Structure formats: C-alpha cells, structure tokens
Structure 1
C-alpha cells in the first residue's frame, strides 16, 4: 500500500482494545455454561426446582389460581409467567407446566390440568388456548409462607419486579419428584421417591444427624416411580444412595393368564418410567415380525381409563416365562434409569448422596423457620406496641378526648399525645385513627385480651428463636402433617434378583408352607394361615386348582431355604423360597414351568427343600439320592449343587431310553428300598452307594427281570415309625413293616413285596408312610380318590393285600401319591373308602425269590 493511502483510512478508535480471540471464546463460553448451569438446567438442592418451574409456580400464585379456585386458561398463565419472570419462548413455559401436570411424569404432580395434557403414549398436549390449569394443593405447600420474608428475592429480567430465588418448600421436592436436565459439561438425572418414605427418612435424620446412609435406607427403600413397575436388583439403588450415581434396572409388571380357550397370555399392567408405551409396542411388533422374539402370536393395547393393559397372546407351544424373559431382554419392558444426583448447592453444582440431599433440605427448612418466626415476632411486636398505646389512651380517655378536641389539626393532636402520655408516633397515629366504637367497655376488654395473647405469642416466638430443638420439632411436626395429608403407598415394588443375595437380609426369614399340585402349580403361603385353621374333617380341598388336580407335595420351609427342582431329563434348577409367588390357601399358584427355563419336552420329577447351600458342614454331610426307571441309583454330595445357576445344571447323566424317577435328600445314614414292576423290592443301606460326581450316570441299584420290568419307585426311610406301602395297577395295596424286608446288597433282584396275580396286576407304586399321611390315587379314567393311611392295617410282606379302590372294566391305576399332613393341612376330598374291609382276605405266599 502506498504511503498516501493512509490518509483515506478512518482514524483508529482508541476505545477498541485488541484481544486474543481464543481468550475471548474461552471466557464467553464459560460465562454461557455457568448461565445454563445456574439459570436453566440444574435444580436447587433446597426446593428441587429449576428457575422455569419456580417461575411457573410463583406466577400461578401471583395469578391466584389456587387449588380451591376456578381453573384459568393455560395461555393466560403462560402469558403471566412470560411477561413477568421468564423472558424465553412460550413453549418452554407451557411444556414445563404440562409436565408438572402429568401423573406419569411426576410422582406427585404440582399442577392440576384440565383438558388434553398428553398421554403416556407420547401424544402431544392440546394447544395452550384450549387447556386450563390451577395449582395442586401440594404445590401450595411448596409456596407456603413465601410472603413472610422466608426466602430472598432478586430482580426480574427488566428490574420491574422481584422474584424468589428459592421457594420455602415444605416438601423435600428434589427427592420426591426427582428431575432431569442437561447443562454444559454436566447433567442431572434424579429419580422420584415415595413421599411417606422420604419424610420418615428426613425425620430420622433430624433425630440423629449422625445417621448412616444404610440406616436411612431402612426408611427410604428405593426410588418410587409414578408408572409403578418393578425395580429389578438392588445394587444400583444402593450405589445411588451412597454415591449419588447408580444404574437402576426397571421391569414392567407382568402376569400370566389363560383364556377360556386355553391360550396362554402375558398381561403387562405397568411399564418402566419414561417409556413411551405406543413406541414400545411398535418396536416389539417389529422384533416379532423379524423373528427376533418368538412365541408371540399377537400383541394388543387394551389400556383404558381403568388402567394399563398390554396383552401378548402366546403361541400354543410357547413357555410364558421364556417369552417374558426375551421381552425383558430385547424390548423396553426392561429399561434402566441412570441416577446422577447433581444439584446446585449455594449456586455451585455438586454430586450428592442421599444423606446430603436430606441434610441440605433440613438446613433450608431450618432457615425458613427462623426467618418466618422472626417475621411473625416483628409483626407481633408491632401489634403489641399499638395495643399498648390503645390501653394507655383508654386509661386516660377523658384527657385524650379533651386534648384532641382542643387541637387545631391532627398533627398538633399527635404531638400533644406523644408529649403528654409518652406515646410513640405510631401509637399516637393509631389512637387518632381509632374508631369511636372502640371506646366501649366491651371493646376495651377485647383490646386487653388481644394484648395478653400477643404477649404470650411473643414469648413463644422468642423461645423458638432461642432453641434449635424447638425449631427442629416444628420441622418434624410440619413434615408429619404433610405425610398425613399426601402420603401414599409405594407404586414400584423391589425384586431382589438372583445376583443380589445381600438384599435377602431385607426379607424376613418367615416360615412358609410350600404347596405343589400334581399338575405342577406351586405357591407359598405363610404358615400362620394354615395354623389358624384346624383340620375340621374331610371336605373339599382348599386350593383352587383344576378339578382333576390335587396337592401332591406340601411341606414347611423358611423364606431363605432353597428349593432344588429336578426334571425328568436329569437337570436341576434352584429357587429361593421367597422367589416362589405367594398365594392364599385357596389360590391355585403359578406353574413351575413359568418360574424356570425348562425345555418344553421336559417335566418336573421332584422338588427338594434344602435349608442352606452356604453352610460347609451342611452341604458336605447331606446327599442327593437319585433313581432312574432302569434301576440306576446315584448318590451325590449336596456340595455339588451349592453354586446356583439361573438356567440350571445337569444333575445326572441319563442314558438313552431311561428317565429320572425319584429323588431324595438324605443324611448319609438312611435305608433305601427300590421296588420293581414285577412286585419285588431290594432293601440296602445307603452306605452301599458311594458318592459320585454331579454328572456321573450312577451304578446299578436293582437287577430288572425281563424286558417288561422297570423300577416303579424308590424310598429313603428316615422315619422310625414308617411302614412300606405298595399299590398294584388293579387297585390292590397294603402296608408292611420295613423290618420284613431283609437287608441285602444293592444290585440284587430283591424279595417279594406284593403277591402279583392277574387279579392284582403289576406293581405301580411304593411309598414310605406313617399313620398321619394320606394317599391320593389317580385312575387312568381320571377318577381321583384320597384316603387316610391310618385306615390300612399293617400286613405281611408277601400278601396280596386289600382292595383300595374298585375299578371299572378296562380301568387301572395311573399314579399314586403320598401327602404328608402338617398342622392345618388343606382339607382332603371327602372320599371314605368302603373297600378297605370288603376284600381284606390275606393270601399268604412266603416263597422268597
């Protein structure tokens, strides 16, 4: 550029300061991020609200739309908030107000909406010109005492008005309703909790400031979501409470139902928090079409005003439990909530644990109580001062009236009153403004009474200000009132998954009666329910099962016991007793197949109750004895089954053409009897069978005779008074003393246990029984009869026995089950057997083979 060109350049403005653009960008971005953090995205730890929420509630209070007043148009409310406090888009204000009115978004909604405020399916709310709103009563508790100088105010955006920096908040709103927000460089995501639990925890904190988080968790068990559902697993909850961060897994609440046509259905009644129902159903349908989820024939949304109901129709061969697990795995029926407890503490973002959140709320309420008390004290003292002036004037009434009448104007009268009676300017002015009717005797008494009451109030307020204990008692009392008024039951229940064994400590180790029906329906019932009902004769059964079903196993177990479930294919599954669905005495229960992932062709053979799998001494000195249909017997230490797996493990290797028949838990010192279809039984001591590995196939327990022969049952004798009961296919049976069966080595052919003839038919069952047991016999024709063992007398070993049941032509016995009675056992079917005496001719045959 030529030198002369400089003359044409504008003069440099000396107010412009050159700076580095990197420094300017850094500084401007930090300012912007702090503005977003403090003024937009993060809640205040004291009232749990972001500025926009606080402004909406305060604006609605300004407008007078209280819970007991008429609704006002949402557009009017939004305009009020925009014009006075929130200089941003109207959609931000309306969206905020809408969310505070949605029952599926907030655990305790703060706005009472009238009109279309959206749906859990993600439908948009109607435009603000159509909807109306007002405050909920619980929101007014957030604003209570705001006019008593309880909180600081700041200028609004144009300095024309003042707005509160925080609300007095009688409710611990941050915990109760939670919040979520994305700031710059940080975010917050806090779950809602149950109001009753939170208040109980807060009161416990006030009573003991040194309380641990673990102790607080005894009051606040877990988050409580507005949509209900199930919190699956407890480790995430524990982590969130202790550190402020954690991952909480939520599962939809689902039940299994069977239609009138016998079709199985999965019914979902509650879904995880923040899941869009319509979108979830749409994505599930796509997964079904893509064959990623199998076993579902149809999916429908049958939700109505009475509640949510999503129906999954299952295909005929589907196992509901497996289908449901796949739905949890691949769809939003199971989702997680990432807890990140970030909130503003004195204007700075902090990650807070449960105790810190409660602590800051209590500090805030304490400050509110102090400021409110100080305000009320100031007001009371002002009033007492005026009343004092009234009383002085009334004591000198004639002089006061004379002075006022002689004064030229009010100012001279005021000065005269102040000088003559020693009154303050405020008192003198109040006397001049007093109405004449206050001069009557009755009014004087009222003034005197009011003065005395106000002096008592002043003493009380001063006592509050001087005693922190009194202030804390006030906080507790007010929280108690809030709990009484708004507290409710939990909506989200907690399921302690198989991995969370530590959570078992929270489940009481109560005695339960486990009931398993012949068809495989299982339930647990508190033993109290049985023991309060005596065995009053033999009537209809208590369980509401199918007409051809009956209770096959019934035993007492503790909630913390294990159930080992063995299948015909030789697999074993574990279930803790508390994981079995609870039902009343009359309930049908849940199919075992729906509780474990069993193959469709497999079936349940036995359920063994085990006290513990954690006690080394117990698992090393107890054994599982198994017997197959082909006479193979196997003994394995319980220790081999002490590491539960969700999908089960192999309990025994079953050879081709064989199947698992009977399983027993023994202590290593039992006698074993194995009976064959041909009518013989072998009796040997358990020590004859050495312990083997879990996957071993076993050793020969009895020798079969002929291709048609097979084992019909095994008993492990563990009751001194026990007898051996045998039943043949044509309805004959008997009870014999176990001592009649000489002890031999395992693997032999055995001795005669029933005199098999064409009349009796082959042996079908063998049971170890005592007098208190019952016998259930099922015919191939479907007829079921229950009889008391005490009605059968003990006979010789090699006899034909007596007729237990009269069979129709071509009919035979299908199966025989023993039912051990406990106190208050379910009432048996009324079927006294008339045949016990009619055919009791014993035909002796003492030849032993």
Structure 2
C-alpha cells in the first residue's frame, strides 16, 4: 500500500508541560475570575459586577423613577449584550434580588409584577417590568463627572464603571452574600440612618473606637423586622469580621377565638418564609417534638402583612409552646456573619470600622474628583464668558475684523491679536451665531460670571482643605439619610434570657390546675386571676392584693375603672356558669377566660373578654352573675324581679349539658342577681324599685332542686320589683354599705340622687315581709334605678369610667345627694 508523503505543514508542535503546574495556574486564574468578577462585592459600592452593570445600564437607558417601567427582558438583554458575558438567568436573578424588599433593606430596583416571595420564585423576565428605585439614583449620581474610572467591557466595544460613586453606604445597608472559590461572604443588612451616623462620626473622629461606632450601629436591621437575640456575636463580627447571631420571629399571645389562645406571628427571621415555617411546624407536631398545637393558619395578605396564627390547645401554656417552636422550627434561625469584600481588587475580611473607612475613603475620592471636574468646567465656562463680554463691548469692531479676514484662521488670529483673546475665546466667538447675540446682555453675562466665580471659589476651597472636603462628604451623607432613611425594624435583645425559655420552671408547658378567681365586671367583661394560695373570700370581697393596693380598675382606650358585678372562686381547669336573666346557665371552661397577672397593684380588667364572645345570649335576656359549677361549690342564691328567692346547690346540675335551667320562672319574671352563701347566718339583702330594703338570715331559705321556683323573698307593692340582691356574712354586717340611686325611670341617667348608708342602720325582718324604707324619693323621682349591698362600693359610668360616691349618710331614709355623673353600674 503506498504511503502518503509527509507534509511539513501538517506537523504539530507538542510542548511538554508539568500537569500539576498547569492545573495550579489554571485553577488560580479561574478562582481569581470568580472572586473578582462574580461572587464578591466591592467594599466601596457594595456591589458585585453583575449588580453594578445592571444599575449602570438601567441608568444609561434612562429608566429613572419618574419614567415608565420596561420589560425586564430588555434590561437583561442590554446588560448581557453590552457588559456581562454570562447567562441571562444570572443577570435576572441579580435584578430580582435588588427589587425584593424582603432581601434588601433599601431596594435599588423598582420591580413591577411578580418578583417572587420568601417561598416562591419570580415570574419569567418577559412577564415582569423594572426601573431604577429612587435610592439607585444616589448610587449612580455624578457618573458623568469623572468621579470613577471606566474600563473596557468584555469585547472592548463599550466602557463601564469600575465602581459606582455610591452616595449610599450600600454594602452595610443592604448586606451581601456569595460563594467564591475557597471563600464566601455573608453580610446582614443594616439601618441606613444608623450607618450614616456612624460614618459621619468616623469622618469627624478618625481615631474613633469600635465601641463608639456601635453606639450608632448597635446591630443589623433586617428587612422583615423580627428580633435579634444575643449581641455578643455581633460585636465579634464588628471587631473581626466574623461572628454569629440568632434571629427570632416577632410573636404575641392573643385570643384567636373566644375560647382559645394562640400565638400570632407578625415578623419572621431574615429570608424565612411562612410556608416553610408552617411545614416545619406540622412536621414537628407529627413527630411529637412540639405538643399543644391544634391548628396553624396563614392569614397573610397585602393589606395587613404577615400574620401566622398558631392555635394552642386549652391547658397548654402559650409562652412555653412558643419556646418549643423556637427550638424546633425556623421561627429562630442563626445568621453567620462573614464580612469578606474586595479592597483594591483583593478579598479582605473587614470589621465595622474598616468597612466604614473604605467607604469613606471612596466617597472622599469621588467628591474630590467631582469637585475637580466641576472646577475645570466652570473655569472653562468663565473663560468663554469673559471673552464674550469683550466681544459685546466691541461688537462693531469684532464684526469688522471678521468681515475683513480672508479665512477663519486669519479671523481667529486677528481676534486674538487685536482683542487679546485666547484661542478658545476666539473660536467661541467665531462659532457664535449673530442672532444669539441678541439674547445676551452685558448685565446678564456679568451675573453669570459672578456666579461662576463664586462657585469656583467654593470648589477651590473644597479641594484646598481636607477638613472642608470631609465636611462636604458628611453633609451629603446626612442628606441621603434624611431622604432614604427609615426607622429601625429589628428589635435587639441583649441576651437570650430576655425571653423565658421552655426549660424555665416558671413557664410550664401545661397550665397547672391552681385556684382561680373568675371576675365578671359591671361592663360585661370576664377575666380570671390564677392564685396558687389565695382567692376571694366572698362574692363581694376584695381581690387578694396587698393591703395598700388600689381597688380593681380597668384601664384602656374606653375606660379607666370598672367595678365587679360577680366573683367566684374556682380552679384553672374547672368550670363556671354564666346565669342569664331567663334562669338558664351557660357553662364555660375557666381556661377559656383570659388570665390577668396578679401583682402588687390591682390587675386591669382591660385584658378581659366580653361575655358575649364566650356565651350565646338570647335576645331579651342579659347575664346577671357567675356560678361555681364544681361539686364542692358553696350554696348559691338567686333573686327574681317578682320577689322570689332561691338557694341551690350544684349537686343536681347536669355534668354534660352546656346550657341548663336552674329555676322555674313565670312569663313576667326574671332573675336579677346571684351570689353564694357560706353559712346559715349570712344575711340575704333584697332592695326593691320603690326603695324598700329587707334582710333576713340565709337559714330562712332552704336549698331547692333546680326545677323549683324558689320561695317568697320580699312582699312587693303594686308596680314595684326587686332590683338588687346582696349576701353579707354576719361578721361583715357592720362594715357593709347600702348604695341606692334614685331617679325618674323615664330618664334613669339624669337627675340622679345617690346615697351610701351602713347596712346595720336597717333593722332585719322576716322573710316575705315588706322590709323598711331605704331611700326617701323626691317629687321628680319615681323610684330607685340602681341599688347595691356589700363591701367597698365602686360606681362607674356607661363606659366603665370611675365616678365618685358621696360620703356615708347615716340616715337610712334620707334622699341622698346629686350624683357626680350618670351612674350606670355599682360593683
């Protein structure tokens, strides 16, 4: 077989190289490219190359905040075609992040359309639109004033800024994250106002210590708010560039339904979405790592923001459940700070002071270069105006010289020689159209020249004084902070113990079964006080507070005081009943009633819940009091408007029925009040609308079953009715008071006369008698509208506000004194 002749041109040149050296060299080139050109931000403007190119190209396209949005695809295409030699997806991802208000503390892109959420990605770039956000203008301003160097793009057809002027300290304000080769960066966002304050302090005091700067920047300020727990790691990061801190969701305990408490989450840790939280909560509940949760609901919307509602089962302590959730779910997350950024093209790990110093040095350079550029421009303009002033002063001679010249070069030379002009001045005059001379006047030109001279002097002062230059930078930072700054969103907690943990024995997971005092106020609120070793001794007794504590009061937007209509002692895992005027009882779990904290001062009933949210009140009826439904409850007593009185026990009450009757009433009768009796010598006191009072021992009324209608309590005159029932122990008779309020029933809140008289001024009589007169009625009054018997009376208005009662009147049949206000209730 013939062989082909060898072709010398086809000879290949083979070079022997060391593979390890080639790999090392190639890897270093790749690593440098990733570090410098892709993954790490520049410490001066806080931007990665792709972010810088996006903002610059959008600025070149004129996509300012006062212009319309354009398709994101157009922005991505322009950036990729002219500046960024990488894929469109990487460019769009960077664009999206700069538009997300949950990613950046100060977004730089104003996005229109679906730019994603914490749980979902954005729509495709053909469906979204973008333009520069107002803050981005501060990043790109004065680009055309020679403030930064421009470098060629990847194919040398265009130029791009090597760094933006960045009037905003973007790296600290918006943070950064990125993974390079052998290194990574992870920086949290901060508050613009705080960072600017620290930078201005460092400008004025270059030798400032870290503690001085931390007085202005105490910690990160995350876009979604939340809480940062423990500040030691933050200080480490500010000192060395590395540290960690924990972020927690913002949560509060609320009544999510009338009978259930829940945990309401309104802010989540940085970059944690609600769907992820819900999924992890459900997983923790399924695996029994968290107990006591009955449901999780996401009520987030655009109008009210984030709202995750976690319902807690009765008998579980919401605070303890929340601490369990912090441990088992993303409601608490760790953030590792790693402040790695490029300084003069080299990656460095920077602390707070170093980050601020690099930025300040950059701004000093930008302002210096801008001032020099403006100075040159104004000097050039002033030089031309001075030549124009000469031309206007000798306009006829100027025209003559030009007309008599053969060529433009000759005219230029003769103008320079005759009028002592420079070449630029002469050229400017030659190029000036004669018709423009009509627009000029010597006065206007002289004014322009004076203004330019003033600006030149100011710019020369800035360039000639380092202190003046630093002051300009500081003033510009102050303006940026005023224009774009917002209040802090993230709460800083010094140590983790600032929030009780589940391991704290004072916060048990389950609510213990302890003695509980249930309160019903005169304005219709229900509340309870869990007291391990104390309770009220009687329905009219005082709360278990210190001897010098003020009376029970209700504070809030509607009222500053509220009396107690009914009080029973039960247990936190027990049940109480609400007695309605129809004679029926509705059962309530004590745990369904909001708990008030017991302190050295009286608890506020503003934390209570309206009775109507716990029980269904039929039309035409009203709640009159509380009943202890426990088997060991004392004997109860009730009175009806027709003068009937009944004592009852809970022994024959149904155990499973939510609603049941405890007295038989005629059609025109109604229950007016209920209380408890603890001994047979307790005094039962009835007061009628025609101002009659009768009291007799409890032993005169034997207990009856719940189907009975009671016994005759007081004999009524025609047209009168019972309006009050009081139970006073034999030992308390001397201290008890009777409060009566007389008025005209047609206008019960006007022209009221009120009287406070000791109970022992009224003689006792037998059951079913008329009693004695308790109040002398005036001609304008037709009876009593309110009455009350017990210890320490409190009067309140219709909104629960406190009203003063008059001094004690020893006359049992006196007419009283004018009320201080319209009394709506006494308790």
Q: Shorter-chain TM-score: what band? A: 0.5 to 0.7
- Verify the 8 A CA contact 2:256 2:309 in the aligned structure 1: no
Structure 1, unpaired ranges of 5+? 502-516, 522-539, 553-564, 570-582, 589-598, 610-727, 733-756, 760-778, 793-800, 810-815, 820-825, 839-849
Match of 1:223 in 2: 220
Match of 2:92 in 1: 94
Aligned counterparts of 1:190 and 1:92: Cα–Cα separation in 2? 20
The reply on whether 1:188 has 2:188 as its aligned counterpart is no
- Verify the 8 A CA contact 2:736 2:759 in the aligned structure 1: no
CA gap 1:817/1:33 in 2 versus in 1, 3 angstroms: farther
Match of 1:451 in 2: 449
Q: How far apart are 1:435 and its partner, in Å?
A: 2.4
Match of 2:300 in 1: 303
2:525 to 547, 566, 585: 547
Match of 1:160 in 2: 157
- Verify the 8 A CA contact 1:143 1:168 in the aligned structure 2: yes
Q: How far apart are 1:379 and its partner, in Å?
A: 0.6
- Verify the 8 A CA contact 2:737 2:792 in the aligned structure 1: no
Match of 2:74 in 1: 76
Higher CA-based Rg:
2
1:331 to 281, 304, 329: 329
Q: How far apart are 1:283 and its partner, in Å?
A: 2.1
Match of 2:686 in 1: none
Q: Secondary structure at the match of 1:267?
A: strand
Q: How far does the alpha carbon of each residue in 1:820-849 deviate from its partner, in whole angstroms, 9 at most, with x for none?
A: xxxxxx9868678979998xxxxxxxxxxx
Aligned counterparts of 2:727 and 2:523: Cα–Cα separation in 1? 19
Q: Secondary structure at the match of 1:284?
A: helix
Match of 1:58 in 2: 56
Q: Secondary structure at the match of 1:254?
A: strand
Aligned counterparts of 2:358 and 2:734: Cα–Cα separation in 1? 68
The reply on whether 1:411 has 2:389 as its aligned counterpart is no
Match of 1:132 in 2: 129
The reply on whether 1:261 has 2:258 as its aligned counterpart is yes
- Verify the 8 A CA contact 1:518 1:549 in the aligned structure 2: no
- Verify the 8 A CA contact 2:516 2:531 in the aligned structure 1: no
- Verify the 8 A CA contact 1:566 1:607 in the aligned structure 2: no
Alignment of 1:93-492 (within 5 A): 93-121=91-119, 123-306=120-303, 307-440=305-438, 443-492=441-490
Q: Secondary structure at the match of 1:339?
A: strand
Match of 1:614 in 2: none
- Verify the 8 A CA contact 1:731 1:806 in the aligned structure 2: no
Alignment of 1:738-749 (within 5 A): none
Q: How far apart are 1:545 and its partner, in Å?
A: 10
Deviates more, 1:88-97 or 1:267-276: 267-276
Match of 1:716 in 2: none
CA gap 1:608/1:14 in 2 versus in 1, 3 angstroms: farther
CA gap 1:84/1:319 in 2 versus in 1, 3 angstroms: same
Q: Secondary structure at the match of 2:525?
A: coil
CA gap 1:457/1:332 in 2 versus in 1, 3 angstroms: same
Q: How far does the alpha carbon of each residue in 1:191-225 deviate from its partner, in whole angstroms, 9 at most, with x for none?
A: 00111111111112112112221121221121111
Q: Secondary structure at the match of 1:274?
A: coil
Question: Normalising by the residue count of structure 2, what TM-score does the alignment of the two structures yield?
Answer: 0.63
CA gap 1:446/1:18 in 2 versus in 1, 3 angstroms: same
Aligned counterparts of 1:260 and 1:304: Cα–Cα separation in 2? 20
CA gap 1:489/1:161 in 2 versus in 1, 3 angstroms: same
Q: Secondary structure at the match of 1:476?
A: helix
- Verify the 8 A CA contact 2:105 2:190 in the aligned structure 1: yes
- Verify the 8 A CA contact 2:559 2:801 in the aligned structure 1: no
Q: How far does the alpha carbon of each residue in 1:108-153 deviate from its partner, in whole angstroms, 9 at most, with x for none?
A: 11101111111122x2211111111100011011000011000011
Q: How far does the alpha carbon of each residue in 1:47-85 deviate from its partner, in whole angstroms, 9 at most, with x for none?
A: 000000000000101111111111111111111100110
CA gap 1:434/1:92 in 2 versus in 1, 3 angstroms: same
Aligned counterparts of 1:42 and 1:780: Cα–Cα separation in 2? 79
Aligned counterparts of 1:518 and 1:92: Cα–Cα separation in 2? 62
- Verify the 8 A CA contact 1:45 1:360 in the aligned structure 2: yes
Q: Secondary structure at the match of 1:108?
A: coil
Structure 2, unpaired ranges of 5+? 500-514, 535-554, 561-571, 575-590, 602-677, 684-696, 700-724, 739-757, 768-789, 794-799, 813-827
- Verify the 8 A CA contact 1:787 1:832 in the aligned structure 2: no
CA gap 1:499/1:51 in 2 versus in 1, 3 angstroms: same
Aligned counterparts of 1:17 and 1:804: Cα–Cα separation in 2? 124
Q: How far apart are 1:464 and its partner, in Å?
A: 0.8
Aligned counterparts of 2:118 and 2:156: Cα–Cα separation in 1? 40
- Verify the 8 A CA contact 1:417 1:428 in the aligned structure 2: yes
Q: Secondary structure at the match of 1:247?
A: strand
CA gap 1:107/1:788 in 2 versus in 1, 3 angstroms: farther
